[in-house]
Chain A
Amino acid sequence: MRGRGEKKTNFQMLFSNNRGAYVSLWFLLFISGVSLIGAFFIDTSQLMRVDLTRITEPPSAQYWLGTDHGGRDVFNQLVLGTRHSLAVAFLVTILSGVIGGVFGLLSGYMGGRIDYVMMRIIDFFQTLPFIMIVIVFVALVPTYNVLSFSIVMTVFLWMPIARVVRAQVLKEKEMMYIQASKTLGTPAFKIMTKQLLPNVMSVWIVSMTLNLALNMGLESGLSFLGFGFPPDAPSLGTLLSYAQSPSNLEYYWWLWLPAALLIFFIILSIRQLGEMIHLHFNEKKGGE
C-alpha cells in the first residue's frame, strides 16, 4: 500500500528501476537544449572566420575550450557541431524509420510474390557502396545542407529497419489473434494498423533508437574522414578529425577530446534510453 503522498506518476514509474536511463534522458535534454539555444547566439560566419592572432590557445576564461589552428573558438564549434550532428542523426533516423517500417510492414504482411519483390529491392540497396556514393555526392553537390545530407544517408540506411520490422511481422501475423481478426472480416489495412502495428511497435521503436546512436556515430565518422559537412560548417566529426595528427593528439587535447567525449556520452545515453524503452514495452505486454 502506497501512501497518497508517495504516489508515483507514470513518468517516475518508467524510470524507477533505471537510474542510468534517467540520467541519460536529462543529459540528452541538456545537450540538445544548450546546442539549440546556443545556436541562436553564435554567428556561424563570425565563428568560422580564421584569425591567425590567436591560434591553438589553451582553454581560458575567454575561450572556454581554447581555439583551433584557425583561431576559432572550440566551445562554440562544439555547440553548433552538436546541433548539426543531432539534427542529421534525428532526421536520418526518422526518415529511415518511417520508410523502413512501412516497407517492412507491407512486405511481411502481404507475403508471397510481393514480399519477394520487395526483399529483392532491399537486397539491391544493400549492395550499393554507401561510402563511395556519399563521397561522390559530396564532390558533385556544391552546397548541401542538413536535409539533403540526411536524405542521401537515408537512402542507404532504411533497409535494416525494414528487415527487422518484416521479421517481427512474419512472426506476429501467424498469431491466432490476427487469424481471429481475419475471421471477423477485418480488412487488411485495418489488421495492419490496429493489430500488427501495436505489436511490432516495440521492435520498431527500439531499433529506431539504436539506429539513432548508430547514425550519430556514422555522421561523425563521415565528417572525421572529411566527407561529412564542409569545413566551414562545424561538426563533431570535424573537431574529432584533429586527432588524426599526432601533434594535436599530444599537445592540443582541447581540440578533439571534448568532441570525442561528447560523442561517446551522447551515443551511450541514447543506447541507455533505447534499452529502457525496450524493457518498458516488454513490461506492458505482461513481462513476457
Chain B
Amino acid sequence: MTKDLLKVTDLKQYFPIKGGMLGRTVNHVKAVDGVSFTVKEGETVSIVGESGCGKSTTGRAILRLDDPTSGEVEFDGEDLLGLSKKEMRKRRKDLQIIFQDPYASINPRQTVRQILEEALEIQNTVPKKDRPDKIAELMETVGLGAHQADRFPHEFSGGQRQRIGIARALSVDPKLIVADEAVSALDVSIQAQVINLMKRLQREFSLTYLFIAHDLGVVRHISDRVIVMYLGKIVEMGDKKSIFDNPHHPYTKALLSAIPVPDPAPEKKEERVFLKGDVPSPIDPPQGCRFHTRCPFATEKCKVETPELRPEDTMEEGHVAACHYMKEIIDGTHKPQQ
C-alpha cells in the first residue's frame, strides 16, 4: 500500500507563443513551472486550484498527451518521459484518463461496443473470443446494461456517457487513472453517483486516482491527499484532513473559505477571505512568491524571495506549504498588510 506509484519531479510545461514576422518564439506560457509530488499506490490525490493554474496540464503531461518541457515522471519505477513512442504505447495500458466533458470525450460515430473493443484490441488484454463477455462485464461494472452496448453515444445521458468513459478507462486494467474534472460537467445528483461509482471501482480494482478538480466539496469527499496549485506551482500539499482543517497558505485559506456552507448561520460562519484582482498572466508570472500580488499578507520579502515548500511545527506529518509567514500568520503576529 505504501509503494510510490507515481513520482513527479520538477515537472515543467512551457507552451511557446509564436509571434513576429518570422513566427519566432517570442515568449512562453509557463503553465506548469516546477511541480514535484508523489502518489502512493491505492490512494486518491486531488489537485485543486483556479482555472488556468496548470492542474489539467499537469495531468496531461503525466500521460504524455503533451510532451513536458522538462522534469521527470516516474511511474512504477520507470521514467515515462524517457520512453520512446512505441514503448510508451505499451505503457499506456497502466495510465488512463477520464475527461471532463462526456459529450466530447467519446466518438459520436462509434457504438459503445466499438469504443470498448478498440481499447481491448489495442492493448490486447483480452483474447478476441472473450471480448464480448468482457464488454458486457465492463458495462455492468459501471452500472450500464449489457444490452446497451450497441447504442450510439447520443442515445445516452451525460452521466451515462461519463460511465462509458470510465468503462473505456477500465477496459485495459490500468493502475492509475487521471480524472480530469471528471464530474464537473455533471449535475450534482449525477456527480454523487459517478463519484461513488469511482470509489467502489477503486476498492474493487485497487486503482490509484489522480483527481483534478476545482470543486472542493467533491475533493473533500474523495481524496486522501490534496495538492493546491496556484499559477503553475504547488502552494500547499498534504493530508486531506490536515489541509481542510488546518490550512497554512493564505491562498488555501481563501479557497477553503469559498466553499458554500450548508447552514450559513451568522455565528457559525467562518471569516470569508476575499482575494482582490485576477490571477496574473502565466506568460510573465510575478517574481518572488507568485501569490504576492493578491495576498493580503504580502510584504517586500514576498516580492523578491520565492518561498519553498516546507513543513511547519503546527502541521501534521507530510503537510507542506510555500509561504514565508505561515507560523506568524497562525499565531497572529503577522497581520494583513494595507
Verify if A148 is at the interface (C-beta below 8 Å from B).
no
Structural contact, A180 and B99, CB atoms closer than 8 A: yes
Q: Which of A161-196 contact B (CB under 8 A)?
A: 175-177, 179-187, 190, 194-195
Interface membership of A199, Cβ < 8 A: yes
Checking B63, B101, B110, B122 against A176 with a beta-carbon cut-off of 8 angstroms, the contacting residue is B101
Q: Specify which chain A residues have a CB less than 8 angstroms from the CB of B109 in the assembled complex.
A: 198-199, 284-285
Q: Does B104 contact A (CB under 8 A)?
A: yes
Within the complex, the shortest CB–CB distance from A132 to chain B, in Å, comes to 33
Looking at chain A's contact residues, is the secondary structure mostly helix, strand, loop, or mixed?
helix
Chain B positions within 8 Å of A182 at CB level: 65
Specify which chain A residues have a CB less than 8 angstroms from the CB of B90 in the assembled complex. Answer: 185
Interface hits, A191-214 → B, CB 8 Å: 194-195, 198-199
Smallest Cβ distance from B110 to chain A, in angstroms?
7
Q: Take A176-B104, A198-B110, A199-B108 as given contacts and tell me if A185 and B93 are in contact as well, using a CB distance cutoff of 8 Å.
A: yes
Indicate if A286 sits at the interface (CB-CB under 8 A): yes
Q: How many chain-B residues does the 8 Å CB contact rule pick out?
A: 31
A185 to B122, Cβ gap below 8 A? yes
Closest residue on chain A to residue B114 by CB atoms: A194
A185 interface neighbour in B105, B123, B153, Cβ under 8 Å:
B123
Q: Mark B78-119, 1 if CB is under 8 A from A, else 0.
A: 000000000011111101110111001111111000000011
Interface mask (A111-147 → B, CB under 8 Å = 1, otherwise 0) = 0000000000000000000000000000000000000
Query: Is B99 in contact with A176, judged by CB distance below 8 angstroms?
Result: yes
Q: Are B89 and A185 in contact (CB under 8 A)?
A: yes
Closest to A186 in B: B122
Are A177 and B154 in contact, with the CB atoms below 8 A?
Answer: no
* Residue of A179, A184, A195, A284 touching B119 (CB-CB under 8 A): A184
B170 CB to nearest chain A CB (Å): 12
Minimum CB–CB distance from B54 to chain A (whole Å) comes to 17
In the complex, chain B residues whose CB is within 8 Å of the CB of A194: 110, 118
In the assembled complex, B172 has its CB within 8 A of some CB on chain A: yes
- Contact status A183-B65, CB under 8 Å: yes
- Among B100, B104, B109, the one with the most A-chain Cβ atoms within 10 Å of its Cβ is B109
Contact of B168 among A184, A195, A285 (CB under 8 A): A184
Shortest CB–CB separation between residue A70 and chain B, in angstroms?
Answer: 55
What residues of B have a CB within 8 angstroms of the CB of A286 in the complex? 108, 152-154
Across the interface, do A183 and B108 meet the contact criterion of CB distance under 8 Å? Answer: no
From the candidates B63, B100, B104, B118, name the one contacting A181 in the complex (CB within 8 A).
B118
Inter-chain contact A177/B106, CB cutoff 8 Å: yes
Interface residues of A (CB under 8 A from B): 175-177, 179-187, 190, 194-195, 198-199, 284-286, 288
- Additional A-B contacts beyond A190-B118, A285-B108 (4; CB < 8 A): A176-B105, A180-B105, A184-B122, A194-B118
